[in-house]
Structure 1
Amino acid sequence: MAVAEPARLTWTALSAVLVAMFAITVGYGVALPILPFLIEQVAGKTAPQALSWHTGLLTGAYIIAIFVGAPVWGRISDRCGRKPIILLGLVGFAATTGFFAVTESLPLLYLGRFLAGLFAAAITPVAYALIGDHAPSKEWRAHRFALINIAGTAGFFIGPLLGGLAVRVAGKLWALSPDRSLAMPLLTATGLAVIAAILVVLLLPAGIERNRVDAPPDAAQIERRAMVRLLAIALVAALAIGVFEVGLALRGKVLGLDAAHIGIMFAECSLVMA
């Protein structure tokens, strides 16, 4: 029996997904150059060891939340649909990033960072699943996957630049106090996530029909083994990138660089990776 070709995702709907990917990667990137300064602002002047410790743990909390939450969100989206989960992720990410910008408690910084990662984890796997649901061919799917990667890479490039330069502009041009200057890039990322959520509401189709094809008897076992290996690779890659990001931010601060210069270094790394 022939399987009907799935309806292709329109460019209008795809643009909402791309903006969502861009928004969460910008939201992650803006925090990288300002994180050590934000910790000092909340916790006061601390020893270099304590500053390194908190910077590493806060970065790790975000990454671990993504690693743990992504498979869960993907499974929930199989039952509840792609659009509600993407929308929930964006709204939750906007709320927790805004909370992260205004909190003045170190434990609440940890809570906000973990929750931001947990909600961000709802976007990427569900976006890929959405593309897979509507893919009429492998070539079509691969092309749209590449566009998602480009949107994410662009966010990683823009985010650190925005994070560093927004602090400098807010402090010099608008004469804001240091605490308000550090909040500006995070609040900007919050606004971008809200815009992405509005686009998802307006442009992304609500209903999704997936074609189900009977798999060979041993396919489930093969997929399980492959999934374990892929998760292991993803964990190692995430840990390696996290270590690099923490080290670069701390090294820049030790050298006396401000958030803008550290943001430029992160953007340079993102450009090379792209």
Structure 2
Amino acid sequence: MSAVPAIPAGMPEPQALRPRQLALLAAAIFVVSAGYGGLLPVLPAWLAQQMPQANAVEVARHVGFLSGAYAAGVLVGAPLWGMVSDRVGRPRILVSGMVGYVVSLLLLLVPTLSSLSAIYVLRAAAGLCVAAVVPVVSALVAEHTPQALRARRFAWLTAASLIGFLFGPALNALADGLAGWLRSGGNQAPLSASLVVVLSAGLGAVIMLGLAWTLPVRQLPKSKIVPGPTRQRGIAALLWLSGAVMFVLSGFELGIVLQGQQHANLTTQQIALMFAECSLVMLIINAMLFFTSLLDKVPARVVIAFGLLIGMAGLAIMALHRSDSWMYLGVSLTSAGTGLVLPVITFLAAGATRQKLGATMGGLAAAAGFGQTLGSAAGGWLFGAVAQQSFGWLTLPLVLTLFMLLARPGWWGQQPLREEADA
């Protein structure tokens, strides 16, 4: 794997991020991940309350389509916000995204906006606002981090995302406890979902204020791109890989949520435990990948291929076996495989020129959003149609990606861009 490009001669060194700033950037990733992970498990019961005449298959499809609407917002917003942040500055876009995220959550609690169509619009708006958070945070860290620290800091960001998703079920459990305390007896699912929204919005508001207070606002000098023969192919390969893996991951996660409707012995606590297991395995893999400097010793394409194989094995196990022990093994392997691949994509993309760093990160987030949109919609439809076998169908994008990697290995180990100082 090529090394991350050094700061060119004559280009001013970017202002280094202070520990407090880096912590707040990681916290922004944590908050949006926790909000998504906390709301997803309560969506089936919440929608069942909103649509009392709907059957389990219809609810499953709407859960998938709502997740797809959120991802569609990311798909539309990520390249837009990335390009705008290259021009007007990343801190402004990041804070604006956090404001929109908090507002879009709180509007879910407005009674006049509780219809199914309004929920779709608000989840899409939340994704549009998150699109101004995740890629812009990555661009900020890449822009203001010395080359020697870049891998370690991206490890922190990935860890923040995984811990946030892991915290989502805990947020859900806290909301359940508060709902039981506020309302004893009866159906507590709508109140619990509302409390998840309130808690997520409150965390987002705190981080939003911290970012607005501490982030640097100085624009860095622009650089120009040095064309290279592998640049466009390297970008296209990363975009495909990001979309394909997120397609599989979103369908896989949705399948875990929807299993409870077809397996009477699978409790909500077991589903939450599978989500926690998923995040913990990915967190461990991420720590191993970066803190052992594995990417400095092993070509990126080898790491990617190994991750794809592990992910396919995990999905195959989940498709073929229904016992708890096999399901937990399948979750672990699938999480380990995707956990190997996703951080490599971001780390390779961090070599983009400053002038195009926001657009590059936004493009990756858009590809991930596109994959997540299709994966969520396909996952809901597949699980309603073939139930457990849907995990087996999800291996197809990974098989195709592995074939492309073996056929064109040169596309998967290059930094997509190079930069030099303006003349």
Question: Normalising to structure 1: TM-score of the pair?
Answer: 0.90
Q: Choose from 146, 167, 184 the match for 2:155.
A: 146
* Structure 2 partner of 1:95: 103
Map of 2:54 onto structure 1: 46
Give the structure with higher Rg (CA). Answer: 2
C-alpha separation in 1, matches of 2:263 and 2:109? 25
CA displacement 1:46-78 (0-9 Å, x = unmatched): 112211110111111112322332222111100
Shift of 1:93: 0.7
Check if 1:195 corresponds to 2:206.
yes
Pairing 1:186-225 to 2, within 5 Å after superposition: 186-210=197-221, 212=223, 214-216=224-226, 218-219=227-228, 222-225=230-233
Q: Which residue of 2 aligns with 1:124?
A: 134
Q: For 1:105-120, what aligned pairs fall within 5 Å after superposition? A: 105-120=115-130
Question: Partner letter of residue 156 of structure 2?
Answer: L
Percent same amino acid at aligned positions? 32
CA distance in 2, matches of 1:58, 1:34: 12
State the Cα RMSD in Å. 2.0
Q: Contact between 1:67 and 1:235, CA under 8 Å: does it hold in 2? A: no
Q: Indicate how the Cα distance of structure 1 residues 127 and 90 shifts in structure 2: closer, same or farther if over 3 A, else same.
A: same
Kindly report structure 1 stretches of 4+ aligned residues shifted beyond 4 Å: 256-261
For the Cα contact (< 8 Å) 2:64–2:254, is it kept in 1?
A: yes
Which digits, 9 at most, give the CA deviation of each residue in 1:163-210, with x for residues without a partner? Answer: 2x1342133222264422221111100111111100101111122314
Greater relative contact order structure (CA < 8 Å, 6+ sep): 1
1:57 aligns with 2:65: yes
Q: Deviations over 1:84-121 (max 9, x none)?
A: 11111111111112223444211111111111111111
Please show how residues 165-176 of structure 1 align to structure 2 within 5 Å.
Answer: 165-175=173-183
Tell me the equivalent position of 2:392.
none
The answer on 1:162 being equivalent to 2:193 is no
Q: In structure 2, the residue corresponding to 1:44 is in which secondary structure?
A: coil
Could you tell me which residue of structure 2 aligns to residue 182 of structure 1? 193
**Residues 96 and 261 (structure 1 numbering): CA distance in 2 closer, same or farther, change over 3 Å?**
farther
Are positions 1:86 and 2:94 aligned together?
Answer: yes
Q: Residue in 2 aligned with 1:271?
A: 280
Residue 161 of structure 1 and its aligned partner are, at CA, apart by 2.5
Cα distance in structure 2, aligned partners of 1:178 and 1:48? 16
The one-letter amino acid paired with 1:96 is: S
Partner of 1:237: 245
Does 2:18 align with 1:7? no
Distance across 2 between alignment mates of 1:100 and 1:238: 26
Partner residue in 2 for 1:104: 114
- Gap runs ≥5 in structure 2: 1-8, 284-423
How many residue pairs get aligned? The number is: 269
The residue number in structure 2 matching 1:29 is 37
Partner of 2:82: 74
Scaled by the length of structure 2, the TM-score of the pair is 0.60
